[in-house]
Amino acid sequence: MGWRVNRRLAVTHDGTKLNVFDIHPFVLAPTDATADSEVYPACGLRLADINGDEAVDVFDIDPFVELTEG
């Protein structure tokens, strides 16, 4: 796999592992950071950095999908 993935934290920061309920905040975080902080104040953009490269971008999509499938 090769990704340094944070499997402990869901994007929603709800105490669960990553699941389908993290899809909305995962999409919202990089596209509208203001709305994301209002809707999910406990989250933070860093939780959407699934591959651990300190950026939230298109390269986080594949590992995110893989985690939600597993």
The least CB distance from residue 41 to Ca ion, in Å, is 21
- CB under 8 Å, gap of 24 or more: what pairs does 43-49 form? 43/11, 43/12, 43/13, 44/13, 47/6, 47/9, 47/10, 47/11, 47/13, 48/11, 49/6
Asked if 60 interacts with Ca ion (CB under 5 A), we say: yes
Site string for Ca ion, 40-59 (x = CB under 5 A): ---------x-x-x-x----
Asked if 12 interacts with Ca ion (CB under 5 A), we say: no
Beta carbon nearer to Ca ion, 6 or 37: 6
